[in-house]
Amino acid sequence: MRFTEVKKCSIVNLNSAVRQNAEGDNFHLKVMKFRTRRQRKMDERLKRQLDFALEIDKEKNILRQTHLSEHGRRENDAEHAWHMAIMAYLFREHSNESVDIAKVMLMCLIHDIVEIDAGDTYAYDTEGLKTQKAREDAAKERIFSILPEDQKQELISLFDEFEAFETAESKFAHAMDNLQPLMLNNSNGGNDWKEHGVYAEQVYGRQRKTSLGSEKIFEVVDQIIQENIKKGTIKE
């Protein structure tokens, strides 16, 4: 092969290599742009999830009327929700109907998040109960809107299911919501009932929902109420 032919062949190969490198560079550039866009989307979603996780820490600042066992300080909403969730898992065999226990536990954990904005409404506060739904609806929209849309809708749907009190899961979750403060109050000698001058009719009125979630649990509730009526900590 002549030198000129070798030279031409080398130039052709070189041009081909340059084109291939250029195409490769363009491909890698496109991949990097795609990854950047995808990462940006992932970062935005994760940021909203992190913002929500931090926001719900405020639930620890919402104090309830119930006191911790052994005459402790006032309980906060986060403690109440955690306690309910564990109780739901422990007592699931006593539910009137078969339930998705993971769903019940999540209901328990989120049901009072709205009180970050709405505040705690005492079970026997007749005036507070009149505005409770409006306050909690506004809070629900603001707080859950921090999340990505799909998770917002998922948790709002679960919250609404709890409030509607129609499914087996919501009924059992309500039974835990009623039992937990009653159990703590009883452990403290019924002092919270006594302090607020609560009547048996009021306590039974709240506890009617308990039997719809668990008749077995309601038997325990009834026994506790009767004992406190006899002691005078619940008024007849």
**Residues 224, 230, 235, 236: what is their CA dihedral angle, to the nearest 10 degrees?**
100
What would the mean pLDDT of 231-235 be, rounded to a whole number?
A: 96
How big is the chain, counted in residues? 236
Place of tokens 């005036």: 127
C-alpha neighbours within 13 Å on the C-beta side of residue 228:
29
Q: What is the pLDDT of residues 10-48, one digit of tens each?
A: 655 656 665 666 666 777 777 667 676 766 777 999 999
Confidence of residue 7 (pLDDT cuts 50, 70, 90): low
Which residues lie closer than 8 Å to 161 by C-beta, 6 or more apart?
Answer: 107, 167, 169, 170
- CA end-to-end span of the chain: 116
- Where are any strands of DSSP class E within the chain? 63-67, 74-76
C-alpha neighbours within 13 Å on the C-beta side of residue 174:
25
Predicted local confidence at residue 63, as pLDDT: 97
% of the chain surpassing 90 pLDDT: 75
Phi-psi region of 125 (alpha: psi -120 to 50; beta: other; left: phi over 0): beta
Which token pair is 17? Answer: 């290599």
CA 8 to chain CA centroid, nearest Å: 73
68 close to 183: Cβ distance less than 8 angstroms: no
How many helices (H) and strands (E) in the chain?
10, 2
Predicted local confidence at residue 129, as pLDDT: 80
What would the mean pLDDT of 124-129 be, rounded to a whole number?
A: 79
Q: Determine the topology of domain 62-231 in CATH.
A: Hypothetical protein af1432 (1.10.3210)
* Backbone φ, ψ for residue 123 (5° rounding): -55, -30
Q: What is the pLDDT of residues 172-223, one digit of tens each?
A: 999 999 999 999 999 999 999 999 999 999 999 999 999 999 999 999 999 9
Residue 144 clears pLDDT 90, i.e. is over it: yes
The model's pTM: 0.81
Higher confidence at residue 84 or residue 125? 84
Worst-scoring range by mean pLDDT, 5-19, 72-86, 90-104, 115-129?
5-19
Which token pair is 145? Answer: 């809107």
178 close to 59: Cβ distance less than 8 angstroms: no
Confidence of residue 2 (pLDDT cuts 50, 70, 90): low
